[in-house]
């Protein structure tokens, strides 16, 4: 029986790259808020199945995971990045960021723990360099990624039959990154960033690590060009 992997935020960018990387060896469930957003990647990966749900709607998530009795890999890739200084950032932005980047991850993981335990599964958290250090203007996002790292650390201790890997990439050449650079007043140059494919290969490397090894953290930085 082929292992099953669920990837959130899989409609484009890094999530789609991870889906392509895992497709040869896994049955895929691909997550996005709306199924329409998944049409391109589902057309490309014909055997994959959609997992359309708003991850911040906890009742909808609980309904969506019913019937998943065994899950080998859970890749948490979905998230948001609203930038701003502490002085500029409202409580609503802080709440929305923590809800999307931490609470939704914790709840989906909690609901899928029986399926993950049944498979001796692997949880992969797509974190960030901002989960290791915070820079000016990145407070809410960095706080959420520090919290995500803590979630992974706690889960690793609490669930010894599972593997939990935090991936901390530097900036990745995606549409989200283009929006961030524009918000910073810069000019987007994809050559200055990691490719989604490079990070996706790191995810697969973690998953493919032999069972006697536990890859707890992977840190990637783009090479200056």
pLDDT score recorded for residue 181: 57
Which has the closest alpha carbon to 14: 27, 26, 32, 2? 32
The Cα–Cα gap between 37 and 166 comes to 26
Q: What is the CATH number of domain 4-220?
A: 3.40.50.720
Q: Where are the beta strands (DSSP E) in the chain?
A: 4-7, 27-32, 49-52, 73-76, 122-126, 163-169, 217-220
Model confidence pLDDT, tens digit, residues 154-169: 999 999 999 999 999 9
Would you state the pLDDT for residue 172? Answer: 84
Is 141 assigned a catalytic role?
yes
Q: Can you say whether the dihedral through the CA atoms of 220, 20, 108, 156 is positive or negative?
A: negative
Note the pLDDT of residue 180: 67
Q: What length is written for the chain?
A: 225
pLDDT in tens, 46-68: 999 999 999 999 999 999 999 99
Q: Over the stretch 38-47, which tens digit does the pLDDT of each residue have?
A: 999 999 999 9
Of the chain, the end-to-end C-alpha distance in Å amounts to 43
Q: What are the tens digits of pLDDT across the range 102-123? A: 999 999 999 999 999 999 999 9
The catalytic position among 138, 141, 146, 193 is 141
For residue 8, the model assigns a pLDDT of 98
**Phi-psi region for residue 137, left (φ > 0), alpha (ψ -120 to 50) or beta?**
left
> What's the CA gap between 117 and 101, in Å, rounded?
23
Report the predicted TM-score, pTM, of the whole model to 2 decimal places: 0.93
Q: Is the pLDDT of residue 225 over 90?
A: no
pLDDT of residue 221: 92
- pLDDT, position 220: 95
Distance of CA 45 to the CA centre of its chain: 19
Closest CA to 67 of 112, 124, 33, 22: 112
Residue spans per domain, the chain? 4-220
What's the whole-number mean pLDDT along residues 85-93?
Answer: 97
pLDDT at 142: 97
pLDDT digits (tens, 9 = 90+) for 184-200: 556 766 667 899 999 99
Cα dihedral 214→217→218→221 (10° resolution): -170
Rounded CA separation 153/40 (Å): 35
């Amino acid at each position: 029986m082929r292992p099953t992997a669920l990837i959130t935020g899989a409609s484009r960018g890094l999530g789609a790259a991870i889906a392509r990387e895992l497709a040869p060896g896994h049955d895929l469930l691909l997550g996005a808020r709306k199924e329409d957003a998944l049409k391109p990647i589902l057309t490309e990966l014909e055997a994959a199945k959609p997992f359309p749900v708003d991850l911040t709607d906890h009742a909808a998530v609980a309904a969506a995971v019913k019937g998943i009795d065994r899950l080998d890999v859970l890749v948490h890739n979905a998230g948001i990045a609203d930038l701003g200084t502490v002085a500029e950032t409202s409580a609503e932005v802080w709440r929305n960021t923590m809800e999307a980047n931490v609470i939704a991850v914790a709840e989906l993981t909690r609901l899928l723990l029986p399926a993950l335990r049944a498979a001796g599964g692997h949880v992969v958290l797509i974190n960030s360099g901002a989960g290791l250090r915070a820079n000016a203007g990145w407070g809410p996002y960095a706080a959420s990624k520090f919290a995500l790292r803590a979630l992974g650390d706690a889960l690793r201790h609490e669930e010894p039959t599972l593997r939990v890997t935090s991936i901390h990439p530097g900036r990745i050449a995606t549409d989200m990154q283009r929006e961030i650079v524009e918000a910073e007043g810069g000019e987007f140059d994809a050559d200055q960033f990691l490719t989604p494919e490079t990070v996706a290969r790191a995810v697969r490397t973690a998953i493919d690590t032999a069972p006697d090894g536990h890859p707890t953290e992977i840190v990637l930085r783009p090479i200056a060009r």
